[in-house]
Amino acid sequence: MPYQPFRFCGEPIVSRQNRHVVGLCKLEDRKAREEAELFRFDGIKLLCEAIRRGVVLDSLFVRAGSTGQIAEGMETLYGLTPTAVDCPVYPVDNDLFARISQENAPEGVICVAKYIDKRHKKCKINRDGLPHLDRGPVILLESLRDPGNVGTVIRTAAALGVAHIILSNDCADLYHPRTVRAAMGPLFSMPVTRVDDLAGAVRLLRAGGWVVNAAALDESAQRLGEVDLSAPAGAETANRPGDPGKVCAVIGNEGHGLSKAVIEACDRTVYIPMEADAESLNAGAAAALIMWEMRRAGRA
């Protein structure tokens, strides 16, 4: 049975000056993304993940001559057909598509989607507080500037059962193309809150009974793997187990780590044991190790 075709809007686009293509390419800029509340991503898998997770698509750009390959990929990956796409679909000339795609080996489809306001929120701590968190674990990121690191943390967090991510305002944009590519499908459904005061967010969490661990090396830092991350500071010696449903960890900037204000707001500091001459871990790798320990604490 032949694959059902996309419902194209007109003939293949051949000019870089086409208004739809111009609008698409503007989304490489953060300011343009925020003004339009739209973001872009490439590839069949991300298209299917967006459809499956209820992301609202604004438009699709499909390379002329690739419709069969794309339809086959959609069917193979998720049992979807082009009829699942509920937005304008623009065919694009092969040469032009190669110039506007952000992939080294384009699969033939570029998606434009609306911001995911239901999952991704911004809060002013003194005015809004924090959204209600009914379960954990929670990971907090301070000043992670690399979009790839932010995306990697989101993807790993989803795999290890983290329920919510909180970002400081100066973390990389959630909708930067490299964030989207690194995070893959979990970006579309992971609850993320961006706050203007991360230390204030930590204090609110602790006031609500959450235990917040800072990934930092100082005189009082405890070795990861030898401390119950879910237990309040000091509870270990009293043999009081913590609540694995209310545990958090904070990861800092790739070069400078966590700020003094955030560290002081947390319950404790923990460090990752490493060989003496080893380079410090990438922020995404460090976050993965700590999230694994958070998961392990919940299963102990």
**Domain co-membership, 135 together with 280:** yes
Domain for residue 240, yes or no?
yes
Residue range(s) defining the domain that contains residue 282: 120-299
Residue 2 has pLDDT above 60, yes or no: no
**Domain co-membership, 220 together with 261:** yes
Residue 296 has pLDDT above 50, yes or no: yes
pLDDT digits (tens, 9 = 90+) for 70-118: 999 999 989 999 999 999 999 999 999 999 999 888 999 999 999 999 9
**Cα–Cα–Cα angle for 240, 245, 251, nearest 5°?**
95
Cβ-count burial of 260 within 10 angstroms (0-12 exposed, 13-18 middle, 19+ buried)? exposed
Residue 237 has pLDDT above 50, yes or no: no
**Domain co-membership, 130 together with 278:** yes
Query: At which of 114, 141, 168 does a domain end?
Result: 114
Q: How many residues does the chain have?
A: 300
* pLDDT bucket at 298, cuts 50 / 70 / 90: low
d(C-alpha 39, C-alpha 24), whole Å: 9
Cβ-count burial of 189 within 10 angstroms (0-12 exposed, 13-18 middle, 19+ buried)? middle
The whole-number average pLDDT for the span 244-262 is 90
Q: Mean pLDDT for the chain? A: 91
Higher-confidence residue of 279 and 62: namely: 62
Phi, psi of 152 (to 5 degrees): -65, -40
The whole-number average pLDDT for the span 139-168 is 96
**Which CATH number does the domain housing residue 290 bear?**
3.40.1280.10
* pLDDT bucket at 235, cuts 50 / 70 / 90: low
d(C-alpha 15, C-alpha 93), whole Å: 9
HSE toward the beta carbon, residue 41, CA cutoff 13 A: 29
d(C-alpha 182, C-alpha 154), whole Å: 8
CB 248 within 8 A of CB 203: no
pLDDT digits (tens, 9 = 90+) for 30-77: 999 999 999 999 999 999 999 999 999 999 999 988 999 999 999 998
Residues ≥6 apart with Cβ < 8 Å to 254: 144, 145, 146, 149, 282, 283
The whole-number average pLDDT for the span 246-254 is 93
Please tell me the predicted confidence (pLDDT) of residue 274. Answer: 82
**Domain co-membership, 245 together with 279:** yes
Query: At which of 79, 94, 114 does a domain end?
Result: 114
**Domain co-membership, 230 together with 96:** no
Higher-confidence residue of 7 and 152: namely: 152
Query: At which of 56, 90, 114 does a domain end?
Result: 114
Name the helix (H) or strand (E) containing 213: strand 211-215
